[in-house]
Amino acid sequence: MKNVKPALAVIGLLGAAATMTFSTPTAFAQQAASGLQRVEISGHKLPDLTRHDVSKVCPSAAQSLQEALALTAYREGTAATVRMQFSLKGNQIEDVSATNGPWEYRRAARHAVGKLDCVDTASTNQPQQFSFLISFNAPEEERASRSSTVALLER
């Protein structure tokens, strides 16, 4: 029984400390909020610096992508559109990413885009960001002839 009273005292102190800890931030936040004044922020949205003129800097891109991706389109046999993005610095393609579409198309498209021959004098000092779509069209009649269509869309 001698140890019960100190234990109850400790529990009482912990309860009081917990009450103070949990109620104090709310009171503090209310006091702080009442002292704040409204702030307005204005400005202009930065222009989208992503370029879509891939054929201009990669003249053989449409043909190269058709050749590199035709077999994948034939094997998969489904229509899909994949969004491609990459950075170009001089003639170095970096940070290739693919979104949308089946994983098999995205994987093959990343590999094919990384091998494109591109040159851009504007990107020599400052990397340029590019974005475009690759459309995989593989209807049944094209599957029979093994001539699947892969198209580069600059949007």
What per-residue confidence (pLDDT) applies to 149? 76
Q: Is residue 29 part of a domain?
A: no
Q: Is residue 82 part of a domain?
A: yes
What per-residue confidence (pLDDT) applies to 121? 79
Look up the domain containing 109 and give its range: 54-153
Q: At what angle do helices 103-114 and 61-76 cross, to 10 degrees?
A: 150
What per-residue confidence (pLDDT) applies to 52? 86
What per-residue confidence (pLDDT) applies to 61? 93
**52, exposed or middle or buried, with CB in 10 Å at 0-12, 13-18, 19+?**
middle
List the beta bridge partners of residue 39.
none
Q: Is residue 5 part of a domain?
A: no
Q: Is residue 14 part of a domain?
A: no
Low-confidence ranges of the chain (pLDDT < 50): none
> What is the DSSP secondary structure assignment for residue 51, as one 8-state letter?
B
> Is the whole-model pTM more than 0.95?
no
What per-residue confidence (pLDDT) applies to 95? 94
Q: Is residue 98 part of a domain?
A: yes
Q: Is residue 146 part of a domain?
A: yes
How many other C-beta atoms are found inside a 10 Å radius of the C-beta of residue 57? 20
Q: Is residue 126 part of a domain?
A: yes
Structural domains counted in the chain: 1
> What is the DSSP secondary structure assignment for residue 53, as one 8-state letter?
-
Q: Is residue 22 part of a domain?
A: no
What per-residue confidence (pLDDT) applies to 142? 55
Note whether 102 and 78 are within 8 A (CB).
yes
